[in-house]
Amino acid sequence: MTKQLWAAFAACILSTLAVAADSMVDKPEWGKYFADAGVTGTIVVVDERKAPAATLVFNRERAARRYAPASTYKIPHTLFALDSGAVTDEFQVFAWDGVKRTFAGHNQDQTLRSAMRYSTLWVYERFAKAIGEPKARAYLRSIDYGNADPTTRQGAYWVDGNLRISALEQVAFLRKLYRNALPFKLEHQRLLKDVLIKQATSDWILRAKTGWEGKYGWWVGWVEQNDGAVFFALNIDTPRRFDDLPKREQIVRAVLKSMDLLEAE
């Protein structure tokens, strides 16, 4: 694709997203799912099953507020790692360093698929080191990801550093990925979407990723069906820490179920 065609295509996508933002609909009734779970947060849902796409939101102010992406950053980070050569494919094995970590799934050799499934931080820290800050910044800017700031004083910049993104921006990014409209190889975008599969039936596929910074948590992704895709991005405060983590999926699934998506849990 030529630069001119790419620019035109990107402009078309951005225009579509702008229209969706302009037609945003508040969903105060979704507040009951947050209240039932005893947490504060926001959810953005873009329903593309009918044209024009509907952008639905609970807590509009928070939806526009930027937070550290935490492990939801593994979604774009995987593309960066594939493009830079930090990982070659889903079969490459990363040897565990023998350091015992809190989550048992982290304490073993990893592949790209298992690192996504178990949200294995140390694998993506290796990717970050291999990519380097200047290239990471360039990648982030190329996909217009939040504030595109990969700096940190210590720790992973997507958890402990300065990188920030809003729920609205998360959904905008996912919509581009769904269409293979990011400036990365088609096979890399397809591979990423494959390792993001959380659940599938004969009628729909759920692709999603959790994230947790400590004080707040995310669940972002989309459900695709024959009649189109429905994208979501949720973040909630997690004052009870581990006790609050299951509530991320619980709330999203309740919202999607109210839209006749997924099955009852």
Q: Which residues are catalytic?
A: 71
Is the preceding omega at residue 52 within 30 degrees of 0, hence cis?
yes
**Residue 176 DSSP SS3:** helix
3-state secondary structure of 181: coil
Owner of token pair 């970590």: 101
Residue 176 token pair = 């581009």
Angle (deg, nearest 10), helices 121-131 and 133-142: 100
The Cα diameter of the chain in Å comes to 52
Helix (H) or strand (E) holding 212: strand 205-212
